[in-house]
Structure 1
Amino acid sequence: MSQVGRDMSRGTGPGAALLRAGRVLAAMWRLGLAEAVAYRAAMLVWILTTTFPLVSLALWYSLAADGPIGDYGRADFVAYFVAAFLIRQLTASWVVWDLSAQIASGDLSTLLMRPVHPLLHHLMQNVAALPVRMALALPLGVLVLVLAGGISVEPGLHLLLVPLAVILAWLLGLCVQTCVACLAFWVTSSTSLFEVWLGLYMVLSGYAVPTSLFPAGLVAVVRYLPFHASLGFPVELTIGRLSGPEIAAGFATQVVWLALFGGLARWLWRRGLRAYGAVGA
């Protein structure tokens, strides 16, 4: 038996540590999945409240009856808004509500006593819910495509990059929500601040209207904001509306904003824990 094998059998060494970490993550994922399945009815209600892209589709599809609007025809609007609806399901999370409530109530203390990082607990809960969320949302997206007569998305290498863009968008949203949730260490209603973020997100991310249809001067700004990096970029990448340089710029924008909000979340968490402990929580 190799040295690594002997260390793992004794429960020592880096191999054993990785094995334990894998088991812990798997257990957390199973727990999160069981919770998502148990609350699938509530999740379905949440999904139905995020169908705004499909409402926008009905509007723009009707407006495009007499001809294309900008560079979008009827089929383009169908592809865009169905992709926006599904990618919204894949990139959404609820860390801001759960974590801020735990900080305000003192329940965070219980998580801090566990052998895993509290933020890892929230991350795994959100990851585990993705299969259930997509199982509920995908039939609705397919139904819309059938009613609209289907779409044709040009195949290409860009499709291989879509999972990476979605993962980065999800991580960016997670970091933003963690930043806002950490403000609960100092303020009583951090979730109210997140409502402001959501309002800007709905307008500037491409959630209600493709950002390429904005006035030219505004497009140049909006496409480099975190809102577009969270939704508009992965959607446009999915339906094949971006050139090579635009794809590179989109990924660069995602990485920059992820680094900024990730660093800010880390700083707020550390400062917040000191304030949390100072009051004897």
Structure 2
Amino acid sequence: MTAVRERPVARIRALADFYVQAGKLSAVQQFSYRASNYLFLVGMLAEPVIYLVVWRTIAEAKGGSVGGYTAGSLAAYYILWTLVRNMNLVYAPAGFEWRIASGRMSGRLLLPVHPVHYDLAGFAGAKVVWIVLWLPIAALLTWLFEPALDVGPVQVAVFLVAIWGAFAIRSLFLWALGLVTFWTTRAGALFELYFVVELLLSGRLVPLSLLPGWARAIADHLPFKWTFAFPIDSLVTPQSTARLLGGLGMQALWVAVGAALVAVVWKRAVRRYSGVGA
């Protein structure tokens, strides 16, 4: 009985050790290419800066605020946006087509750990380096746009957990979406539709409070809000501790849904797999 009970614990420990080692390896690799990574992060600044300038102009034209955001809080929103966006960079669904065509997926099937863990651990390790590289960029944006941010320790703690929750949610859902390529290699239109809906209902394009009521109602029932809007608003907008913890609970729920979706679709996808061996 003891051996049977210890087996799941041993598996969890082994998986945790895998994440630590794979994450370290990825972090070292990313740090080795820190110059190119820095250029990549800088190149991503155009999108949030454009959003910031546009909405600050609108806020000032409307007397200083729009949708409950002042010019200063909008600056804080889009500066934090740059970090949350980097945390949400995960393996793209279209990459599954390349894995199948090149035979890489065949090799992944022979490994002792589920392929999704390799992507999660690898990208998680990379995030550590990206966060460090982001700090000087955040300092520059803070100097340029003077954000208004008044936060307490609970908000900071929730934010630090929420950005990793956002990473897990987006990773799992996009991984499940990528498995569609096991049935067809012409899934580009489906991927684009997914990203358009995410762009509109996640808080990436605009803060959700600026959307019509019906759009916010839809966003409340989809995972996208918890990958962009919630982590950012946990620091930018005043919220009760109960609401912040409730948001983390919703993230945990969507992580569970994403994991279940990956597990179910994976079993069916593998049965149909007929890729070329690595």
Tell me the TM-score normalised to structure 1 length: 0.83
Q: Does structure 1 residue 54 correspond to structure 2 residue 49?
A: yes
Q: Does structure 1 residue 63 correspond to structure 2 residue 73?
A: no
> Per the alignment, do residues 97 and 128 of structure 1 end up closer, same or farther by CA in structure 2, a change over 3 Å counting?
farther
Name the CA distance, whole Å, in 1 between partners of 2:116 and 2:65.
46
Name the CA distance, whole Å, in 2 between partners of 1:221 and 1:73.
25
Name the CA distance, whole Å, in 1 between partners of 2:227 and 2:185.
27
Q: Which residue of 2 aligns with 1:267?
A: 264
Name the CA distance, whole Å, in 1 between partners of 2:75 and 2:13.
45
Q: Which residue of 1 aligns with 2:206?
A: 209
Q: Provide Cα deviations, 1:54-107, integer angstroms capped at 9, x if missing partner.
A: 221111122222421231111111111111221121232125344442123221
**8 A Cα contact 1:211 1:223, kept in partner:** no
Mapping for residues 10-159 of structure 1, pairs under 5 Å: 24-51=18-45, 52-65=47-60, 66-159=63-156
**8 A Cα contact 1:224 1:253, kept in partner:** no
Larger radius of gyration: 1
Letter in 1 for 2:27: L
Identity %: 25
Which stretch shows the higher mean deviation, 103-112 or 39-48? 39-48
Cα distance, 1:186 vs structure 2: 0.9
Give the secondary-structure state (helix, strand or coil) at the position aligned to 2:66: coil
Which stretch shows the higher mean deviation, 70-79 or 220-229? 220-229
Name the CA distance, whole Å, in 2 between partners of 1:269 and 1:180.
10
Letter in 2 for 1:120: H
Corresponding residue to 1:172 among 169, 173, 198? 169
Name the CA distance, whole Å, in 1 between partners of 2:220 and 2:8.
43
> Per the alignment, do residues 49 and 197 of structure 1 end up closer, same or farther by CA in structure 2, a change over 3 Å counting?
farther
Which stretch shows the higher mean deviation, 32-41 or 142-151? 32-41
Q: Provide Cα deviations, 1:134-187, integer angstroms capped at 9, x if missing partner.
A: 233222222111112343323242322222222221111011111111111111
Cα distance, 1:45 vs structure 2: 4.6
Cα distance, 1:220 vs structure 2: 2.8
Q: How many residues align?
A: 271
**8 A Cα contact 1:54 1:85, kept in partner:** no
In structure 1, runs of 5+ residues without a counterpart are 1-11
Letter in 2 for 1:88: R
Q: Which residue of 2 aligns with 1:194?
A: 191
In structure 2, runs of 5+ residues without a counterpart are 1-5
Corresponding residue to 1:241 among 222, 238, 243? 238
Name the CA distance, whole Å, in 2 between partners of 1:186 and 1:35.
33
Name the CA distance, whole Å, in 2 between partners of 1:13 and 1:200.
42
Letter in 1 for 2:59: A
> Per the alignment, do residues 148 and 25 of structure 1 end up closer, same or farther by CA in structure 2, a change over 3 Å counting?
closer
